[in-house]
Structure 1
Amino acid sequence: MTSPPATAPRSASPRRIAALALPALVVLAAEPLYVLVDTAVVGHLGRVPLAALAIGGTVLTLIAWLGTVVAYGTTGRSARRFGAGDRTAAVAEGVQASWLALAVGVVVAVGMQAGGGVLARTLVGADNDVAEAAAQWLRIAALGAPGLLLAAAGNGWLRGIQDTRRPLWFVLGPSLLSAVLCPVLVYPAGLGLPGSAVANVVAQTISGALFAGALVSERVALRPRPRVLAQQLVLSRDLLIRGVAFQASFLSATAVAARFGAAAVGAHQIVLQLWFFTALVLDALAIAAQALVGAALGADDEAGARGLARRIGLLGAGCGVAFALLFAAGAGVVPGWFSADGQVRAEAMVAWPWFVAMLPLAGIVFALDGVLIGAGDTRYLRNLSIVAALGGFLPAIWLAYGLDLGLGGIWAGLAFFVVLRLIALLLRLRSGRWAVVGAVRA
């Protein structure tokens, strides 16, 4: 019987958790930061290119979201193998995830060549100039999809074996190159908007190649294994459905906010983006939980996994409280960073108390999500998300519209959604049914 690695179960000190979470945070932030640079560069080309980038960038964000699903599923499976002391099997999970990512990436790249124009016209509507520019950007940018998804799968298995250094450089290096290359291609090289797409493709292809090279250097078998691919598809399906429930809920919330007027939807966008920002930071802690909990269960250390879950939950609560205090102190200042419109700022203050009050609870929820993903308990997370969305969030926000409760009603609905998830997650943790030990979850 192979012995588990020393880093797996009980040695997950706050320092070890931070060593996994902080590099993950940099990797998570790299893409949004690059999008900001890209937007700033293209914004100087005029209204049509900027609108086209907004359309194309939204589609690319959805593709990146597919990559996140693959990465999260792979982390837990690899971590279990790693915790069981079988590094080769842990890396082999990455091989299969990479085949899956490559296949999806190729389908996306080819599909966008044929359907990019139709998709752009559907999203844009009547503005043919914007639709044509968006379609051109999409066709080029989609060529980077195989690299983008390969990088996501690579992040998954490397986190699973608790290697945080290589993902950091494999993502950060190409992103910095792209940030430099984008303005050069757009302006001096004279490519305009397509130059932005080319810079994306270069960065994503290099990043994907680096992760693929890391797999090759591990000297494991690289052939596809249909049984493992099928297992990973089931895991990805559950996480994908969970994500769709979230997307539908937030899209509905924005639609309801729009019915309360321009000031309300503008304020909702400000507070929602701040919510997404905090979620990004707290997701880094969830990624650490995925790797460490998976390793503990793979090492047959149920008690260690339970203790780790409690520790991660408390850290999530602490981070949430810290954010709550920061945003409470900045209530009179932060909305003004995003809008000079007094009515928008006033509407933001309607949602602000709900936003601040939710953060400590959300810190626990995001952390425990990571615990259950690491344990492979994705079916429960899928079902919980559907029930909380259909039975809590969506009825609450449409009730807010029907009773004319304004933005406060929408954010009360989001608070209800978070509370429902928190209660269900705590009950699941207390039951212990999530803590299935072994290198593979039955």
Structure 2
Amino acid sequence: MDPSPAPGADPRGLRGEVLRLAVPAFLALVAEPLFLLADSAIVGYLGTSSLAGLGVASGVLLTAVNIFVFLAYGTTAVVARRLGAGDERGALTAGVDGLWLSLVLGVLAALVVWVWAEPLVAIFGATPDATAEAVTYLRVSALGIPPMLLVLAATGVLRGLQDTRTPLIVAVAGFTTNAALSLLLVHGVGWGIAGAAWGTVVAQTGMAVALVVVVIRGASRFGASLGFATAGVLRSALDGIPLLVRTLSLRAVLLITTWVAAGLGEPELAAHQVAITVWSALTFALDALAIAAQALTGKSLGAGEVEDTHAVTWLMVRWGVWFGLVLTALILLLHRIIPLGFSSDPEVRAALAAALVVVAVVQPVSGVAFVLDGVLIGAGDARWLAVAQTVFLVVYLPMALALKAVGVVGVTGLVWLWVAFGAFMAVRAAGLVWRARGDAWLITGATR
């Protein structure tokens, strides 16, 4: 059977369904990396050491939070399947279990990051000034990890219920609050890099409260239990292990990349911090299609609609490629302008401009990888993803280590580092295409 539908085919108005979910998800996902973009722009004018320190601290913080992204992705798939099977109460019960799990994991992760901030930062081998700034930012930001994980879990529940509009509204409010507070606390009050961290903590806490309230109201309406159900929370944790492995492999790639960048020189590390943040913003934009894929794939497989699952998969892959090409053109057009907003250091600007060229070229490949990753997560194909992402990491590791061993530094080293990262994305996309063209992941029903 050919999994690709005929060009132009749109059974049951799937384009409209994709757009209804993807457009708000796109806007919300663009708002999320703007937390770091705002901090990068505000902290960048404190000096190169502060910006480099933010780069290291962000690498640790994002790892501490994003390794638990299964709280959103796994919850979306489970809730959407049960919704597709007509079990709204069961869907919200699973969602509440995810919220409790996120709170437990958030508190534990915050304690680890706060206690081990110095050794975690020291791993990157940055300069003493950059290291000191990183530790300051990380210790304050640790307080925001529990609300960050609650935001992930609550967002996953709402996406599974086919609601991406509410997370958008909350994300926009959170970004606005974060930008205003960071600017005030860093440059107005004079708290330096700690002010940027406090602004993010306050904003994330407000977002968590708003989203949890929405989920609790929905659960109460359908009679779902709000209490801590040990069996349900444990089930959520066990179901999340394969996605945790998948995410750890992805985060390992990003951490290894930052580790190599730390040895290229302080201006190059600062440039890499902005480049990886821009890349995150772009891939989160592409991930909007993946969010729609998770929600629609879970719902359609829960309802037993395999044909619709195939159709929406390849529709979104085509859209991912075209969207990636648009982003390529946009970044190439702006690659010398973007650095002006993040640093006054000419070395940082030159290195960033060069890295952004590679970032731009990778976007169409990223579009394919992110869409198919979302499809397979929505289908509950987490075990295959865990194994595959580990293999992709093993393929990338020799490339990164070779760059470290050769000792290439400066702008040239940064460009080659991003070329290696682009090769990783290409390998990842190829593997996901191979899996999606088969039928082993197409399992129907309320549970996988």
**TM class, shorter-length:** 0.7 to 0.9
Q: Distance in 1 between matches of 2:125 and 2:407?
A: 30
- CA shift in 2, pair 1:194/1:377, >3 Å: same
Superposed, 1:251-290 pairs within 5 Å as 251-253=255-257, 272-290=276-294
1:266 positional shift? 7.5
Farther off after superposition, 88-97 or 412-421: 412-421
Shift of 1:254: 5.1
Contact residue 127 and residue 266 of structure 2 kept, 8 A: no
Task: Note the C-alpha offset of 1:114.
Answer: 4.4
Q: Partner amino acid for 1:348?
A: A
Cα 1:324–1:146, aligned 2, differ >3 Å: closer, same or farther? closer
1:246: Cα distance to partner? 2.5
What is the alpha-carbon distance in structure 2 between the residues aligned to residue 229 and residue 20 of structure 1? 27
Q: What does residue 424 of structure 2 align with?
A: 417
RMSD: 3.9
> Is 1:266–1:344's contact at 8 Å kept on the other side of the alignment?
no
Q: Residues 198 and 261 of structure 1: is their aligned pair in 2 closer, same or farther, counting only changes over 3 Å?
A: closer
Q: 1:258 to 1:108 in 2, by over 3 A?
A: closer
2: distance between equivalents of 1:63 and 1:342?
27
Shift of 1:369: 0.7
Change (3 A) 1:387 1:91: same
Q: What is the 5 A alignment of 1:189-200?
A: 194-200=194-200
- If the length of structure 1 is used for normalisation, what is the TM-score? 0.81
- 8 Å CA contact retained: 2:69, 2:247: no
Measured in 1, the distance between the counterparts of 2:53 and 2:422 equals 34
Q: Measure the CA separation in 2 of the matches of 1:399 and 1:224.
A: 49
Does structure 1 residue 395 correspond to structure 2 residue 398? yes
**In structure 2, what is the Cα distance between the partners aligned to 1:329 and 1:142?**
37
SS in 2 for 1:13: helix
Determine whether 1:233 maps to 2:237: yes
Asked if residue 427 in structure 1 is aligned to residue 434 in structure 2, the reply is yes
Matched residue, 2:26: 25
Deviation per CA, 1:288-319, whole angstroms, max 9, x where unpaired? 11111111001111111111111111111221
Deviation at 1:283, TM superposition (A): 0.9
Change (3 A) 1:423 1:156: same
**Equivalent position of 1:3 in the other structure:** none
CA distance in 2, matches of 1:433, 1:126: 49
The change in CA–CA distance for 1:202 and 1:346 in structure 2 (over 3 A counts) is: closer
> What is the rounded CA distance, in whole Å, between the counterparts of 1:381 and 1:232 in structure 2?
17
Could you tell me the percent identity over the aligned residues?
33
User: What displacement does 1:222 show?
Assistant: 1.2
Larger deviation, residues 75-84 vs 215-224: 215-224
Cα offset, 1:269, TM superposition: 6.4
- Asked if 1 retains the 8 angstrom alpha-carbon contact of 2:59 and 2:258, the reply is no
> What's the CA shift for 1:73?
1.4
47-56 or 157-166: which moved more? 47-56
Q: Separation in 2 of the partners of 1:66 and 1:184? A: 31
Conserved? CA contact 1:74–1:94, under 8 Å? yes
Amino acid at match of 1:237: I
The one-letter code sitting in structure 2 at the alignment partner of 1:315 is W
TM-score by length of 2: 0.80
Does the C-alpha gap of structure 1 residues 275 and 210 become closer, same or farther in structure 2, counting only changes over 3 Å?
closer
Q: 1:279 to 1:224 in 2, by over 3 A?
A: same
**Superposed displacement of residue 264, structure 1:** 7.5
Offset at 1:156?
0.4
CA shift, 1:334, in A, is 6.6
Deviation per CA, 1:336-365, whole angstroms, max 9, x where unpaired? 88784599469938x94x655543232112
Kindly indicate whether residue 361 of structure 2 is the aligned counterpart of residue 381 of structure 1: no
Pair 1:438 & 2:442 matched: no
Distance in structure 2 (CA, Å) of the matches to 1:213 and 1:346? 41
Letter in 2 for 1:30: A
**Helix, strand or coil at the partner of 1:431:** coil
Runs of at least 5 residues in structure 1 that lack an aligned partner in the other structure: 1-8
C-alpha separation in 1, matches of 2:367 and 2:24: 19
Q: Write the distance in 2 (CA, Å) between the matches of 1:181 and 1:202.
A: 8
1:173 paired residue number: 173
State the distance in 1 between where 2:269 and 2:47 align: 25
Assess, with a 3 A threshold, how the Cα gap between structure 1 residues 185 and 365 changes in structure 2: closer, same or farther: closer
* Aligned pairs, number: 429
Question: For the Cα contact (< 8 Å) 1:306–1:435, is it kept in 2?
Answer: no
- Alignment-mate amino acid for residue 418 of structure 1: M
1:198-221 C-alpha deviation (Å, 9 max, x unpaired): 433322222211122112212021
Query: Contact 2:76 / 2:378 at 8 angstroms: preserved in 1?
Result: yes
Contact 1:12 1:308 in 2 (8 A): no
Q: Secondary structure at the match of 1:362?
A: helix
Q: Which amino acid aligns with 1:395?
A: P
The answer for the alignment partner of 1:98 in structure 2 is 99
Asked which structure has the greater CA Rg, the reply is 1
* Code of the aligned partner of 1:170: V
Structure 1 residues 361, 80: closer, same or farther in 2, change over 3 A? same
Residues 220-256 of structure 1, C-alpha deviations (whole Å, 9 max, x = no match)? 2112333433332234322222222223334444555
Partners of 1:326 and 1:125 in 2: CA distance: 32
Residues 1:51 and 1:227: Cα distance change in structure 2 (over 3 Å): same
Between stretches 376-385 and 109-118, larger displacement belongs to 109-118
AA partner of residue 436 (structure 1): I
Q: Do residues 319 (structure 1) and 323 (structure 2) align?
A: yes
Larger RCO (CA under 8 A, 6+ residues apart): 2
Indicate yes or no: 2:354 matched with 1:348. Answer: yes
Structure 2 residue runs without a partner (length 5+): 1-9
Q: Which moved more, 1:308-317 or 1:137-146?
A: 137-146
Cα distance, 1:156–1:329 mapped onto 2, change above 3 Å: same
Name the CA distance, whole Å, in 2 between partners of 1:258 and 1:138. Answer: 17
Deviation larger for 61-70 or 362-371: 61-70
Query: Which structure 2 residues correspond to residues 23-422 of structure 1 after superposition, within 5 A?
Result: 23-42=24-43, 56-112=57-113, 114-116=115-117, 119=120, 127=128, 131=132, 137-186=137-186, 194-218=194-218, 219=220, 220-253=224-257, 272-327=276-331, 340-341=346-347, 344=350, 348=354, 352=357, 358-390=362-394, 392-398=395-401, 410=417, 413-422=420-429
When structure 1 is superposed on structure 2, of 86-95 and 374-383 the one drifting more is 86-95
How far, CA to CA, are the matches of 1:299 and 1:326 in structure 2? Answer: 39
